[in-house]
């Protein structure tokens, strides 16, 4: 591992692993009570958070690691079942873990508000309160409620020396960290009697907790933010944006970890490794200036999968770093289909909705762009869009194409549009006091969820006339959006139950395989495949059957010569076999590319297993 100072000399360095003392890891120097690991999906936040938790626990520090990601995989990394309660991690003294379960948290939140008034207020009023608390907003804020409790609960703070937060991908995390202040401000200024969370009294009870959470988050002696990135231009740009946004809400002291850097010792006599190394070094050289002042650690790419205690200990323990002794048995896999095979099957009636879904960092944006480019080249009208706040469609395409239009669901823009529409539609029927109450309610932080859902609904209606290719946000955020879609569908069903009016909801369109094709994107690694399998089950419970899986950035299909990359390629074979034989109705593999797949020509290469 090596690091750089704030002086921006060359950051291209030979990666010398020298961790004779644990404190040589900068982000672990005098660690405070709370450590947050955040960054773009797929950069290794969970692995680093878990390795950090083990590192501190091995020093006999009492540690709690908490996942705030709705699609948490902390349990998968440790190889144990972890739920919504604090659970000791076997074989690691002093370490406990917890995954915030949004659904379980929502039920606790509902009970706290509803039970005191049940039997006191009329049944119709209680039922109305329960309906107000049934949506995705309540689920999100209830999970956030548990998050603030972990920052402020005296019993928990007494039981643990350190609490480590493995957070959801960047956009979702920024929103979560803003919420303590947002809800505090809403409660201080709001005079309305309800919000989308139900009675304001339910929030009033949390006023003191939210204030305490704001104090804890804004104190650098108690809270440290660790930005995790890869040596890639897109993730470094994302880290820079995150750095600015976090600084704007009070996180001035941030640490940076560049994870999974290919050591220069691996580039000899391997064209692919040399290309990857050169690309990474170029990205590091062009690192955004705003990151230059942050204390920075560089973590080398490992030959082994970061699952299980031995691998996690090896990540930050000096005597095991770089260990390549983990052997993988040979696995035969079926003939590998290309992405072009799948796209050929998509053409059908010439229109429809195609959604790429999966864990952050697996390449959903790139694959969505490649599919859209191919469909447009075949002469079809295509609308390529994204619901991911951190997506970079324009940068990925790096060009224009006939028949192809591009858009982005921007939460800020959509929220402002929604507020304007509501005020215009209701303003003429309101007096001054009513107008003030409506404006207050529309300043509720969860108004954004409603606005984004409406934008999502508008876009997918276009799929009746053209192809709409949607690059979705990482798994957890997408599931919350689908939860909102399902809640809307159930409400429409309830309203139309006693009528003969035919209706179609967005959820019905998503459930119709003739109209919607969901493509799950993953990597040939244990955790991404398990998470993709979990996503598939969640979709099936919602009545949505995934159409295909795509394994992206496969080393096994790229034929590397470097010893480290060859070991990682062997590790992939079992996962590819599992996808082909256990999970995917259809599947394809995209090899790791020597050149970053940016621009129309390079995107075309992805279609034919070209390297």
Which class in CATH covers the domain with range 339-410+460-495+502-608? alpha beta
Cβ–Cβ under 8 Å, residues 386 and 408: yes
What torsion, rounded to 10 degrees, do the Cα atoms 402, 403, 408, 414 define? 120
* Spatial contact of 99 and 84, defined as CB atoms under 8 Å apart: yes
User: Active-site positions?
Assistant: 42, 44-47, 69, 527
Domain boundaries along the sequence of the chain: 24-315, 339-410+460-495+502-608
Cβ neighbours of residue 284 closer than 8 Å, sequence gap 6 or more: 11, 12, 231, 236, 258
Give the pLDDT of residue 321: 45
| pLDDT recorded at residue 170 | 45
Q: Which token pair is 407? A: 């858009």
355-368 as b/e, with b when 16 or more CB fall inside 10 Å? bbbbbbbbbbbbbb
Query: CA angle 465-469-474, nearest 5°?
Result: 145
Q: Are 536 and 248 in contact (CB under 8 A)?
A: no
Question: Residue 551: its pLDDT value, please?
Answer: 95
Q: Quote the tokens at residue 157.
A: 């703070």
For position 611, what pLDDT does the model report?
52
Cα gap 87→422, rounded to integer Å: 45
The mean pLDDT values, 10 residues at a time, for the chain of 611 residues are 37 37 73 90 86 94 86 75 86 91 76 81 77 65 76 92 80 49 49 40 58 77 91 87 81 89 88 93 92 90 83 73 47 73 84 88 90 92 81 74 87 82 76 74 67 80 90 62 59 56 66 90 88 87 90 91 90 91 93 87 78 52
Query: 3.40.190.10, 3.30.450.20, 3.40.50.300, 3.40.605.10: which CATH number matches 24-315?
Result: 3.40.50.300
How confident is the model at residue 508, as a pLDDT?
Answer: 76
pLDDT of residue 543: 85
Quick check: helix, strand or coil at residue 435?
A: helix
């Amino acid at each position: 591992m090596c690091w750089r100072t704030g002086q921006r000399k060359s950051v291209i360095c030979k990666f010398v692993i020298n961790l004779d003392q644990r404190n040589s890891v900068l982000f672990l120097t005098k660690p405070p009570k709370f450590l947050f690991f955040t960054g773009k999906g797929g950069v290794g936040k969970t692995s680093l958070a878990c390795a950090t938790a083990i590192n501190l626990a091995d020093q006999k520090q009492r540690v709690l690691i908490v996942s705030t990601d709705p699609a948490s995989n902390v349990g998968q990394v440790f190889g144990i079942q972890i739920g919504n309660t604090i659970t000791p991690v076997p074989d690691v003294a002093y370490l406990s873990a917890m995954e915030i379960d949004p659904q379980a948290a929502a039920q606790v939140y509902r009970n706290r508000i509803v039970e005191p008034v049940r039997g006191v207020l009329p049944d119709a009023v209680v039922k109305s309160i329960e309906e107000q608390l049934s949506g995705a907003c309540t689920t999100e804020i209830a999970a956030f409620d548990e998050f603030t409790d972990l920052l402020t609960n005296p019993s928990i703070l007494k039981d643990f020396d350190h609490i480590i937060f493995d957070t959801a991908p960047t956009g979702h995390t920024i929103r979560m960290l803003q919420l303590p202040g947002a809800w505090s401000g809403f409660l201080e200024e709001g005079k309305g009697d309800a919000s989308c969370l139900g009675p304001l009294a339910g929030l009033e009870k949390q006023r003191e907790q939210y204030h305490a959470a704001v104090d804890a988050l804004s104190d650098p002696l108690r809270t440290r933010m660790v930005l995790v990135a890869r040596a890639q231009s897109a993730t470094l740009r994302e880290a820079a944006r995150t750095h600015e946004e976090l600084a704007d809400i009070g996180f001035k002291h941030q640490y940076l970890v560049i994870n999974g850097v290919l050591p220069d010792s691996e580039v000899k006599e391997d064209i692919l490794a040399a290309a990857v190394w050169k690309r990474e070094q170029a990205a590091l050289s062009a690192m955004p200036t705003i990151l230059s002042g942050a204390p920075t650690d560089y973590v080398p790419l490992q030959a082994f999968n970061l699952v299980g205690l031995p691998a996690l200990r090896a990540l930050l323990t000096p005597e095991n770093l770089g260990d390549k002794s983990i052997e993988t048995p040979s696995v035969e896999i079926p003939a590998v289909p290309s992405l072009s095979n799948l796209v050929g099957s998509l053409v059908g009636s010439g229109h429809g909705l195609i959604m790429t879904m999966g864990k952050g960092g697996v390449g959903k944006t790139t694959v969505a762009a490649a599919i859209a480019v191919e469909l447009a080249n075949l002469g079809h009208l295509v609308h390529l869009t994204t619901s991911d706040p951190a997506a970079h469609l324009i940068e990925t395409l790096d060009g224009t194409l006939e028949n192809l239009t591009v858009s982005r669901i921007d939460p800020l823009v959509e929220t402002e549009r929604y507020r304007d529409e509501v005020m215009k539609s209701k303003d003429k029927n309101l007096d001054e006091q009513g107008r003030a109450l409506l404006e207050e309610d529309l300043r509720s932080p969860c108004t954004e969820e409603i606005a984004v859902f409406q934008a999502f609904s508008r876009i997918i209606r276009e799929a009746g006339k053209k192809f709409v290719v949607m690059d979705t946000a990482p798994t957890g955020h997408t599931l919350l959006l689908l939860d909102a879609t399902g809640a809307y569908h159930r409400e429409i069903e309830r309203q139309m139950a006693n009528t003969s009016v035919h209706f179609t909801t967005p959820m019905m369109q998503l459930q119709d395989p003739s109209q919607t094709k969901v493509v799950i994107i993953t990597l040939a690694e244990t955790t991404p495949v398990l998470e993709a399998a979990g996503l598939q089950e969640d979709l099936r419970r919602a009545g949505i059957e995934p159409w295909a899986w795509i394994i992206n950035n496969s080393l096994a299909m790229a034929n590397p010569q470097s010893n480290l990359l060859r070991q990682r390629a062997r590790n992939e074979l079992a996962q590819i076999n599992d996808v082909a034989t256990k999970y995917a109705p259809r599947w394809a593999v995209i090899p790791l590319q020597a050149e970053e797949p940016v621009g129309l020509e390079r995107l075309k290469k992805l279609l034919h297993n070209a390297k």
